[in-house]
Amino acid sequence: MDLFQKCYDYKRVDMAKAWSIYPYFHELNSGQSDVVEMEGRRTIMLGSNNYLGLTSDPRVKAAAIKAIEEYGTGCSGSRFLNGTLDLHVRFEEEQAEFLKKEACLTFSTGFQSNLSIISSITGRNDAIISDSFNHASIVDGMRLSFAKQYKFPHSDMNELERMLKRCNERGQGKGGDKGGILIITDGVFSMEGDICNLPKIVELARKYGARILVDDAHALGVLGERGAGTAEYFGLEDEVDLIMNTFSKSYASLGGCVAGEAKVIEYIKHVARPFIFSASLPPGQIAAAHEALRILKSEPERVARIHELTADVQERLKKLPYVEVRESNNNIVPIIPIKTGTVVQTLYISKLLLEAGVYVNPVLPPA
**Which residues are known catalytic residues?**
190, 218, 249
Q: Please, what is the angle between helix 110-121 and helix 136-143, to 10°?
A: 30
Write out the chain in H/E/C secondary structure.
Answer: CCCCHHHHCCCHHHHHHHCCCCCCCCCECCCCCCEEEECCEEEEECCCCCCCCCCCCHHHHHHHHHHHHHHCCCCCCECCCCCCCHHHHHHHHHHHHHCCCCEEEEECCHHHHHHHHHHHHCCCCCEEEEECCCCHHHHHHHHCCCCEEEEECCCCHHHHHHHHHHHHHCCECCCCCCECEEEEEECECCCCCCECCHHHHHHHHHHHCCEEEEECCCCCCCCCCCCCCHHHHHCCCCCCCEEEEECCCCCCCCCEEEEECHHHHHHHHHHCHHHHCCECCCHHHHHHHHHHHHHHHHCCHHHHHHHHHHHHHHHHHHCCCCCEECCCCCCCCCCCCEECCCHHHHHHHHHHHHHCCEECCCCCCCC
Q: Please give the angle made by the CA atoms of 60, 65 and 68, to the nearest 5 degrees.
A: 130
Rounded distance between C-alpha atoms, residue 19 and residue 260, angstroms: 49
The torsion region of residue 304 among left (phi > 0), alpha (psi -120 to 50) and beta comes to: alpha
Q: Which of 225, 244, 363 is nearest to 302 (CA)?
A: 225
Amino acid making up residue 200: K
CB 147 within 8 A of CB 124: yes
